[in-house]
């Protein structure tokens, strides 16, 4: 899979591509990447990449021409050939990262991980001209309800969420029990030492009893999801992902019987 990033600050995503598991995936040839500096496509002597917005208002917008030339350089075609809402760059999906896009989720990350190439446009200033969005962009994606000063961190967050789902990057077992994979948050985890700062690892995890550990973990996942993200429980229920066992545990967590003082911790 290939990631192409169009940016005014290539050093920001570069640090991610050159380190850790991503660097290994690149070395193995599972992932390829290209960083394109939009400023290289500004033709005036000052390499200007911003301009005033029509209609006035605070701030500047990214200039259209350097961005279009950068898109051309990486073979992204305008949407004129788009049919029935399908993307026209068959092997590329073009993403503009923006706070006004659809929120990134694990489901979207899975969907993107099946593409051959993702091309990211990182905005700066107040963003990009709407006509660039209309003519080139397949998806507008936000990484959350807050505003960053430019798109490189957002693009890098999306790339990180996607590449680790590509076959061969990390083990499929590690992915199976992660937060969101089956609609719930992850259970708490512990490593050595057995007692840390006076706090002991829950006894059940030392018992070696796999079935009890599985049940404890499921209960902890449900407790955590109910506490922090109750809407995920409703979603998992609607998607048929809550087993009878999980529903029973939810009942116990939300309406604890006065006699049950047992926590397993």
Structure-token pair, residue 177: 């029990």
- Toward ligand SAM, which CB reaches closer, 67 or 246? 67
The reply to whether 10 sits near ligand SAM by the rule CB under 6 A is: no
219-224 contacts at long range (C-beta below 8 A, 24 or more positions apart): 219/249, 219/252, 219/253, 219/264, 220/187, 220/188, 221/184, 221/185, 221/186, 221/187, 222/184, 222/246, 222/249, 222/250, 222/253, 223/253, 224/184, 224/185, 224/186, 224/187, 224/188
- Toward ligand SAM, which CB reaches closer, 148 or 170? 148
The reply to whether 225 sits near ligand SAM by the rule CB under 6 A is: no
- The one-character DSSP state at 19 is S
Q: What distance, in Å, lies between the first and last C-alpha atoms of the chain?
A: 43
Which positions from 92 through 121 interact with ligand SAM, judged by CB under 6 A?
A: 97-100
Handedness of CA 113, 118, 124, 130 (dihedral sign): negative
The reply to whether 143 sits near ligand SAM by the rule CB under 6 A is: yes
Contacts of 116 (CB under 8 A, 6+ apart): 1, 2, 91, 92
Position among 18, 40, 44, 126 found at the interface with ligand SAM (CB under 6 A): 126
Residue 60 C-beta: closest distance to ligand SAM, Å: 10
Structure-token pair, residue 63: 């200039």
What is the per-residue binding string for ligand SAM in 153-192, x denoting contact by CB under 6 A? -x--------------------------------------
What is the per-residue binding string for ligand SAM in 39-68, x denoting contact by CB under 6 A? ------------------------------
Position among 10, 66, 151, 183 found at the interface with ligand SAM (CB under 6 A): 151
How many chain residues interact with ligand SAM (CB under 6 A)? 19
- Toward ligand SAM, which CB reaches closer, 65 or 177? 65
Give the binding site for ligand SAM (CB under 6 A). Answer: 97-100, 122-124, 126-127, 142-144, 146-151, 154
């Amino acid at each position: 899979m290939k990631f192409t990033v169009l940016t005014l600050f290539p050093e920001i995503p570069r640090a991610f591509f050159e380190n850790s598991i991503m660097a290994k995936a690149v070395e193995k040839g599972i992932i390829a990447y290209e960083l394109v500096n939009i400023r290289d496509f500004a033709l005036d002597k000052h390499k200007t990449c911003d301009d005033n917005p029509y209609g006035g208002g605070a701030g500047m917008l990214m200039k259209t021409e350097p961005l279009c030339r950068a898109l051309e350089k990486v073979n992204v075609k305008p949407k004129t050939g788009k049919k029935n809402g399908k993307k026209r760059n068959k092997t590329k999906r073009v993403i503009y990262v923006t706070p006004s896009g659809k929120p990134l989720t694990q489901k979207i990350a899975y969907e993107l991980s099946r593409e051959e190439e993702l091309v990211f446009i990182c905005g700066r200033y107040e963003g990009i001209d709407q006509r660039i969005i209309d003519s080139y962009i397949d998806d507008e994606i936000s990484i959350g309800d807050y505003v960053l000063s430019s798109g490189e961190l957002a693009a890098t967050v999306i790339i990180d969420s996607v590449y680790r789902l590509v076959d061969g990057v990390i083990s499929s077992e590690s992915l199976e029990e992660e937060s969101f994979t089956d609609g719930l948050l992850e259970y708490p985890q512990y490593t050595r030492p057995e007692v840390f700062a006076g706090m002991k690892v829950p006894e059940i995890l030392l018992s070696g009893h796999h079935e009890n550990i599985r049940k404890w973990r499921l209960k902890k996942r449900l407790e955590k999801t109910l506490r922090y993200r109750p809407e995920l429980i409703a979603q998992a229920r609607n998607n048929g992902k809550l087993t009878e066992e999980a529903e029973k545990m939810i009942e116990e967590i939300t309406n604890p019987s006065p006699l049950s003082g047992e926590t397993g911790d």
